[in-house]
Structure 1
Amino acid sequence: KWKEDEQDDSMLQLDKYLLKMCDKKRFLEILYDFVLFDGGTKKLPRPHQYFGIKAAQEHVRRREGGIIWHTHGSGKSLIMVWLAKWILENNPNARAVILTDRIELDKQIERVFHEAGEKEIKRTTSGKELMEQLNNPLPRLLCSLIHKFGARNVDNFDAYIRELESGPNNTVGELFVFVDECHRTESGKMHRAMKAILKNAVFIGFTGTPLLKKDKQTSLQVFGKYIHKYKFNEAVEDGVVLDLLYEARDIDQRITSPEKIDEWFGESTKGSNDYQIRELKSKWGTMQHVLSSKTRSEKIIKDIIYDFKIKPRLSSSFGNAILVAGSIYEAARYYEMFQSTPLKGKCALITSYNPATRDITTEDTGENTETGKEYVYNIYSELLEDISPEPGKSKSETYEDKAKTKFIKEPTNMKLLIVVDKLLVGFDAPPCTFMYIDKRMQDHGLFQAICRVNRLDTEDKDFGYIVDYKDLFSKLGDAYDVYASELDSEDTENGDIGISLKDRLKKGKERLDNALEAIALVCEPVLPPKDQLAYIHYFCGNPENKQDLKDREMKRTSLYKHTVGLLRSYTNIENEMSEAGYSADEIEAIKNKVDKYLKLREEIRAASGEKLDMKTFEADMRHLIDTYIQAEDSRRIDPFGDQSLLDIMVHIGIADAIENLPEGIRSSKEAVAETIENNVRSRIIKDHLIDPAYFDEMSALLSEIIRERKANAVSYEEYLKMITELAKRVMNLTRDDLPAGIQTNAQRVLYNNLGKNEDLAILTDTAIRNSRRADWRGNIPSENEIKHAIFEVLKDKAEVERIFQIVKQQNEY
């Protein structure tokens, strides 16, 4: 949503923002300066990006630097693109340099600019090349690592800076330097060297984190004050990023407690018969003993595998996770242990380590003794054995790039990345939903890392989840504070930095309570006695009224979506409801309500004859139903597969069709009748435009059958015969009373809709076939040619338009 002058309530909010956005000057400015194509996708700025750029433009005009603090995941890279393009277009002497402190970020910046159409950006590979480029007028757009500035291991750093400052300035053009993640970089040493070398440049810092109080003075000296701020809590409120839920885990208690093993046992035995359950129980005591003797790492592995089994997002094909290890050695150990779990072949090791024989020929002390180094070397040698390096890349880089691409684009085939330092900054992977932390981190590094899971993705991703095995966060009230060091809040309203994590179980309980309340409100208007028939009447309408089914589509959609929301909320804490604060009676009552609404959803779907589009609003619904629906409903995995009710009636028989209905419907003859009638009506509505005259006739016949049933003019058995015959006619458009000259389906449709005039139908058919061109649909000139040919036969413009809409539905043409 647009946000501007929020205190102004003199008019409707929609009117206020429409007037502001459609102001002539601003509208033209947005079209000219704020539209770009990112990898082929047209993008306009969000409000915080627009106003951040506008504020930066004022600073640029005054040749004044500053800091843009926009939280991680809110689109800082695109701000750089828009701002750089504006500077270069409006100042012929300007040059833009984008600096980062990590190779991954440097590559990302280059990729973002390339995908936005800026192909001439030059990425330098050495300090010498960077200075050569700066001392020449072209290229105007550069990106590089900040470490290219200055000499390393200088004994007297202050003297080194004074020497740089006294030297000549050989750079060409008016330089505007963007520094990404400007809060880092060796406490400002590189920043000072950079300013000394680029004496007249304007520096704009970008950061996704607030400044620490201890670093404030250095940042002010290098960049200046804040240009624009967009905090984490604002981005969550605006729906730009997802909120983060936190859970600290005592791994020994979690894995070895009887309650957790009982939960795991319950999940593992769903769908098993009594014999299988007895056999598993006989082995369970042994497993408890084994688990208690495992190392800490093995327990963490078991804990993560448990999550991948029960967490809906992880057990679906849409979500994945990152595990952060404390060292390369620990990461390699984790990787090896995962090879004996269901994640074998679906996890990867990302550390940038390149195996070299020198790693195992030198002695060392501490953790990385020769044995430790040899272990890492052997793991990587085996891992990279079959990897063919791509041009310009090592085996390790090739392997890691492929793994990262698969993690982003094929989450079902790459479920877990094990990292140490890499990917914790600047890695955008929307499927990534869980982060497991087994490494000491704090402040900026910690916040940047956990924000890897806050990216928006499909609708089933509602939060990013942080699982902490190191107890890194301190609890403040109902939330967990991310920063251990004191933050600079002087320039922030009310001192509110807006960075804290919510407790996962507390938030989970809140969401489940809200979901139960929301779906109850959806069903509240259903009239007593609120039985199956009452629900069918409310969500599907009166089958006699041919418009009712279509008019109530929004009600059914609301029911389906709220059922999905309830199921997701329930499954997220299903095994921890007592810890979340529910009593035993409440847990049982909620379980029954979830089952009730799942059954209701299936009954309404069957009664309306709808095939749900799983991609539209319930990406993970099929998995959730397969996993969590009661055994009674699992019976619906039947031999008819995805055939519709009418398909079964026509091709197999009415008895099998009724038996295939949910139990709540088939137990009532009236509910069965209305379900069949709604399915027939739904098919008539869906196919009406193919042959309006024919389906109008079918609709009238359906209404007559319904009236006879309600008047008890026919027996239930006779009614089933009549409705089955009608279903056959609806599913099969052939009829017996056609003239000999009507030979094709398209001719039959024209005959039905031109007053059953055989000659007129054949002449119209001939005119269409003689005038149609290839791919004529959607091609206005070609469509007009066909309309003209039809007019020559019908001599009536209104009739031409009516028939042409029918013609467009015929596959023969």
Structure 2
Amino acid sequence: MGFDEANTVRDGIRDHLQKIGWKYVPAINLPRDQTEVIVEPYLKQALIDLNPEIAEQPDRADEVIYKLRTILLSVQSEGLVRSNERFADIICGGLSMPFGENYRHVPVKIIDFENPGNNSFITTTELSFTGAVPKRADNVLLVNGIPLIIGECKTATRPSISWLDAGEQIHNDYERNVPALFVPNVFSFGTEGKTFYYGSVRTPLEKWAPWREEEDVGPSPLSDVFETAMNLLSPAIVLDILKNFTLYATDKKNQKIKIICRHQQFDGANKIVNRVADGKVKKGLIWHFQGSGKSFLMVFAAQKLRLNPVLKNPTVIVVVDRQDLDSQINATFNTTDIPNTVGAGSREELQKLLSQDTRKIIITTIHKFGEADGVLNERENIILLCDEAHRTQEGNLGQKMRDALPNAFLFGLTGTPINEVDRNTFKAFGAAEDEKGYLSIYSPEDALRDKATLPLHFEPRLVQYHIEKESINSAFEELTDQLEEDEKHELIKRAARRINFFHNQERIDKISEDIVLHYKQHVEPNGFKAMVVCYDRESCVRYKEALDKVLPEEASDIVMTLSRGDPQEWKNRWDRSKDDEEKLLDRFRDPLDPLQILVVTSKLLTGFDAPILQTMYLDKLMKNHTLLQAICRINRPYTQKSFGLVVDYIGVFDEVAKALAFDEKLMRNIVTNIESLKSAIPPTIEKCLKYFKDVDRNISGWEGLIAAQECIPDNARKDAFAADYQNLSKLWEAVSPDTFLNQYKEDYKWLTQVYESVKPVSMAGALLWQKLGAKTIELINENVHVTGISDDFDEIIIDEDTITDLLKTKDEKKIKRLEIRIIKRLRKHASNPVFIALGEKLEGIKERYEHGFIDSLEFLKALIQIAKDVVKAEKEVEPEDEQKKAKAALTELFENAKTDKTPVIIERIVNDIDSVVRVVRFDGWQQSNPGEREIKRALRGELRKYQLQNDQDLFDKAYDYIRQYY
């Protein structure tokens, strides 16, 4: 018996769930019809068991079930997220019915959250449901007959399959075709037995997340998946996420979205809640690294604290230390519609709320406590959640806050490490009971491991303007954003000659030219955007003027806070309302908007979230957590983005090192110096080549490959080489496309080919073209088949019957001519040797792919090439009106050439290329520069989603084929 997704992954999860409280019932034994979402007999029994009023009159359960059915039916008109929200509200306690005496409304309990053992927990496999179309889910978890969790499993033994294929099936197939099944859904999961990801309804796949309870990874990927499943899918955690860690928000397009917690938010919020409920320790320090979702952690914690009956209707106060963070936190709470949330916009409002004993969530800034007069409230069930717990909350303002609320619980949350400069923070917020002073840690290593954030690379680019640290006097080194305005003013006066240096127009012009050159070469081609961080407001204006000399004016803009004494011209251009500023930032987040570079000095360096921002050009001295907060603006994950890049024009790398010096082990991966990466490449290549020291690398063909493979004959040697090569691959991608690499290209190409030929199965779970970094793929394709850079694009079209039934032909005795005649389009030209040759070529690539001689990417390229040739040949023999009826050639070709082993992702690429061209092309675009640019941008954008925009071979083949048709 072999290994497949059913007997390994699906059944393994089923069996392990039974160890943690789920009872397995085969789907065929569930008392339900395939058109029913809920197992109604189970739900009816639960309603009777949990509600005395229904137990007295059991037919009342039918009225409750009828209400739930109406929500299930409403999904077609209301949408899945809205229906999901309504359903969740009811099963979490939002339903009352007139079942009491004299028809008095009483609450109806559908799930018992306080006593989970009172519920029915059932797991099943291969659950069929017929909506618009029949579908079958691999793993389904039902609570009281309600399907709360849907899981899709893929095989662990095929290298081209990943959890993405499972997630894709849930997100793009099941949720669209049988949405009623997902109306009760808490979350879904996808796994291929190596990785495990989960996400809520309509959440894009790139936002699905891993769930990691333990830092260590075991020896078996499949057993690790089972451990993860047992943790996340334990009955208590499923109910906790449903009740306390689920949010519904409205995005900027006024669309409802659902948000569920990541593991670090679940863990951090529960540690806060448990500490308050226990009541013995009154404080705690939480460090969750920048970009890992700290704002939502506070929302979840505040929501659960308010709902906890043990705390007797507490007051939760969210305290921030800057106005921009105040706006960010307010926006987070407001968009998620958390009830009983108020903002204290003034000292008077805050004092009024506290003196009146308000029992709500209050959002305010630390400065509102500045004029607090004595004790404002002595209650013990007041909980302070202090965001960015650093200097302002340690000094006079922090003491005022503590004096005003002497018995409150005090939790400090920070996204940056606490080092010796902030040592008082440990005293203020850290509890002696907590190891290393922290209640909860989500370190940079954790964030990088979970892909919640990206690594930061650091590139000193000082040109001839490198500033030696000895030349900067002590006054200027103290000039940071942490100082008050009067302190800044005094230091600016003392450092006047340094200001003149930063304002020097010749210097700014030369740096601006270098910025644009770097941006054009390294940032813009990948679809990312950038930020220039300047010394002060005047520097911002000068940089903007310099950038306008070499870029279109609309390509950059300034975001800064203006003061009363600034020139009126500045105010006319850059003094924006909050709404106008947010619209500008939304434009920056839009990949299609021409705004590419933001110029700032202080604003946006904290709290600003724009994943498309990849590169920060730094021309401002900062230090400590202020510097780390700033550079972490670029660490948010984004399509095709593998790291954030700091380009340093002022020489602050040593300051970064100081900011991180408190724990080198935890922080070693957060910032990488590009120059150090370059220096590591030669010895790393040499280390890899030592495995093959007796091999003549000039010998090509199978003899050369066998000679190389025989140098690593056993698993231990293969694993050692694989580890060293992966290290080299990461270094190469980080440095690429630096010309420094040219001297090592041939060696790297050879090592890459050997690595691919012996790669262990356990490392082959990613999509085929994600095995190596994007730069590595680009390099291989350059050496194999390069036709030059081309930005043209066209649509792929052919009629609806192209190559139908080709793959069904099994009679090997039939010659190719008879096979081709089965196909409608090619049959028309059965006597034409051109079409016969094309049919034979298609059959050939089909056979090569099925036998594993080419991978999915090469299969896609070959399909595009044949489709191009078919269109070209038809233009010579078919009238124009028949061509206009044509269907996309690539799509049709793929539909008939794919097999059950073809990765889902290939179909996505085919469909996306076809659809985008239909939208953006227009007649005569080939003769129009704007037309070519628009088509080019569309193609790059679609390929970028799959990390393929740098594959010039694929791009050129697609372009040549499409241009042939139009």
> Normalized against structure 1, the TM-score is what?
0.56
Map 1:64-143 onto structure 2 (within 5 A): 64-90=282-308, 91-118=311-338, 120-138=340-358, 140-143=360-363
Q: Report how far residue 238 of structure 1 moved.
A: 2.6
Aligned pair partner of 2:525 in 300, 315, 319:
315
The one-letter code sitting in structure 2 at the alignment partner of 1:414 is L
Q: Which residue of 1 aligns with 2:440?
A: 228
Q: Is 1:331 the equivalent of 2:540?
A: yes
Q: Radius of gyration: which is bigger?
A: 1
Aligned pair partner of 1:54 in 247, 256, 270:
270
Q: Is 1:446 the equivalent of 2:622?
A: no
Q: Report how far residue 216 of structure 1 moved.
A: 2.5
Native 8 Å contact 1:95 1:173 kept in 2 = no
Native 8 Å contact 1:436 1:466 kept in 2 = yes
The one-letter code sitting in structure 2 at the alignment partner of 1:435 is M
The one-letter code sitting in structure 1 at the alignment partner of 2:625 is H
The one-letter code sitting in structure 2 at the alignment partner of 1:705 is K
Distance in structure 2 (CA, Å) of the matches to 1:401 and 1:636: 36
Secondary structure at the aligned position of 2:382 is classed as strand
Distance in structure 1 (CA, Å) of the matches to 2:730 and 2:788: 16
Native 8 Å contact 1:434 1:465 kept in 2 = yes
Cα distance per residue 1:341-396 (max 9 Å; x no partner): 22521211111116x5xx2xxxxxxxxxxxxx54xx43443x25xxxxxxxxx735
Distance in structure 2 (CA, Å) of the matches to 1:96 and 1:338: 47
The one-letter code sitting in structure 1 at the alignment partner of 2:514 is D
The alignment of Structure 1 onto Structure 2 pairs a total of residues equal to 540
Distance in structure 1 (CA, Å) of the matches to 2:812 and 2:520: 52
Native 8 Å contact 1:195 1:222 kept in 2 = no
Native 8 Å contact 1:349 1:400 kept in 2 = no
Q: Which residue of 2 aligns with 1:190?
A: 397
Q: Which residue of 1 aligns with 2:713?
A: none
Q: Report how far residue 109 of structure 1 moved.
A: 0.7
Q: Report how far residue 239 of structure 1 moved.
A: 1.7
Q: Report how far residue 38 of structure 1 moved.
A: 4.4
Q: Report how far residue 221 of structure 1 moved.
A: 3.3
Q: Which residue of 2 aligns with 1:671?
A: none
Q: Which residue of 2 aligns with 1:405?
A: 586
Q: Which residue of 1 aligns with 2:674?
A: 504
Native 8 Å contact 1:108 1:426 kept in 2 = yes
Q: Report how far residue 49 of structure 1 moved.
A: 2.2
Distance in structure 1 (CA, Å) of the matches to 2:773 and 2:259: 25
The one-letter code sitting in structure 2 at the alignment partner of 1:51 is D
The one-letter code sitting in structure 1 at the alignment partner of 2:273 is Q
Native 8 Å contact 2:387 2:412 kept in 1 = yes
Q: Is 1:145 the equivalent of 2:357?
A: no
Q: Which residue of 1 aligns with 2:642?
A: 462
Secondary structure at the aligned position of 1:332 is classed as helix
Q: Which residue of 2 aligns with 1:704?
A: 815
Distance in structure 1 (CA, Å) of the matches to 2:226 and 2:611: 34
Q: Is 1:174 the equivalent of 2:381?
A: yes
The one-letter code sitting in structure 2 at the alignment partner of 1:465 is L
The one-letter code sitting in structure 2 at the alignment partner of 1:141 is I
Q: Report how far residue 19 of structure 1 moved.
A: 2.5
Cα distance per residue 1:168-213 (max 9 Å; x no partner): 5447782111110011317422111101111221111100122232
Q: Which residue of 2 aligns with 1:415?
A: 596
Percent of aligned positions that are identical: 24
Q: Is 1:643 the equivalent of 2:853?
A: no
Q: Report how far residue 150 of structure 1 moved.
A: 1.8
Cα distance per residue 1:473-531 (max 9 Å; x no partner): 229xxxx61428x74x6xxxx975557521224446879989x999xx9xxxxx98479
- The 1:703–1:331 alpha-carbon spacing in structure 2 relative to 1, beyond 3 Å, is farther
Runs (5+) with no aligned partner, structure 1? 152-160, 255-292, 360-372, 385-393, 522-526, 535-561, 598-612, 651-679, 689-694, 710-715, 733-744, 746-813
Aligned pair partner of 2:509 in 282, 298, 301:
298
Aligned pair partner of 2:459 in 247, 256, 278:
247
Q: Report how far residue 717 of structure 1 moved.
A: 9.5
Q: Which residue of 2 aligns with 1:217?
A: 424
The one-letter code sitting in structure 2 at the alignment partner of 1:473 is F
Native 8 Å contact 2:326 2:365 kept in 1 = yes
The one-letter code sitting in structure 1 at the alignment partner of 2:407 is N
Map 1:736-775 onto structure 2 (within 5 A): none
Native 8 Å contact 2:320 2:326 kept in 1 = yes
Q: Report how far residue 568 of structure 1 moved.
A: 12
Q: Report how far residue 16 of structure 1 moved.
A: 2.5
Secondary structure at the aligned position of 1:333 is classed as helix
Q: Which residue of 2 aligns with 1:433?
A: 614
> Normalized against structure 2, the TM-score is what?
0.48
Secondary structure at the aligned position of 2:562 is classed as coil
Distance in structure 2 (CA, Å) of the matches to 1:126 and 1:295: 45
Native 8 Å contact 2:391 2:422 kept in 1 = no
The one-letter code sitting in structure 2 at the alignment partner of 1:55 is K
Distance in structure 2 (CA, Å) of the matches to 1:223 and 1:128: 30
Distance in structure 1 (CA, Å) of the matches to 2:789 and 2:402: 71
Native 8 Å contact 2:354 2:376 kept in 1 = no
Q: Is 1:573 the equivalent of 2:736?
A: yes
Cα distance per residue 1:281-337 (max 9 Å; x no partner): xxxxxxxxxxxx9721111101110111110x3334x31111111111111111122
- The 1:724–1:628 alpha-carbon spacing in structure 2 relative to 1, beyond 3 Å, is closer
- The 1:417–1:45 alpha-carbon spacing in structure 2 relative to 1, beyond 3 Å, is same
Secondary structure at the aligned position of 2:270 is classed as helix
- The 1:62–1:592 alpha-carbon spacing in structure 2 relative to 1, beyond 3 Å, is closer
What is the alpha-carbon root mean square deviation over aligned residues?
5.2
Distance in structure 2 (CA, Å) of the matches to 1:589 and 1:498: 29
Distance in structure 2 (CA, Å) of the matches to 1:403 and 1:616: 34
Distance in structure 2 (CA, Å) of the matches to 1:400 and 1:300: 27
The one-letter code sitting in structure 1 at the alignment partner of 2:265 is Q
Q: Is 1:720 the equivalent of 2:936?
A: no
Q: Report how far residue 701 of structure 1 moved.
A: 10
Q: Report how far residue 617 of structure 1 moved.
A: 11
- The 1:463–1:82 alpha-carbon spacing in structure 2 relative to 1, beyond 3 Å, is same
- The 1:593–1:28 alpha-carbon spacing in structure 2 relative to 1, beyond 3 Å, is closer
Q: Which residue of 2 aligns with 1:266?
A: none
Cα distance per residue 1:746-804 (max 9 Å; x no partner): xxxxxxxxxxxxxxxxxxxxxxxxxxxxxxxxxxxxxxxxxxxxxxxxxxxxxxxxxxx
